Amino acid sequence: MREFLKKLFKRHPRRSLPGLDMKFYCTDKCDGCGECYRRCPTGHIKMVDGRPFWKGPCLMCAACSQVCPIDAIRYGKPDSENQV
């Protein structure tokens, strides 16, 4: 599935949604397990120094946040109530 979506985005870049994932971030609880990175169907989460960074485009499928075993992924401004 991941490889299929990578090919789809490469072939049809306009179907991608750049910028939608810019508000994803992980809290200090993140232990760098990489599960979000492995689960993202578009392969656009990058692990840098053991922490995930969202580089878009994004399907907004929320798989990354759902798969995090310690609920360390948030969406929105770090100090806002607009978080999931």
List contacts with ligand SF4 (CB under 6 A): 21, 26, 30-36, 40-42, 45, 52, 54, 58-64, 68, 70, 72-73
How far is residue 77 CA from its own chain's centroid?
A: 15
Closest distance to ligand SF4 from the beta carbon of 49 (Å): 11
**CB-nearer residue toward ligand SF4: 61 or 80:** 61
- Dist. CA 6–CA 29, nearest whole Å: 29
Q: Residue 65: which of 55, 56, 75 has the closest Cα?
A: 75
Least distance to ligand SF4, CB of residue 80, Å: 19
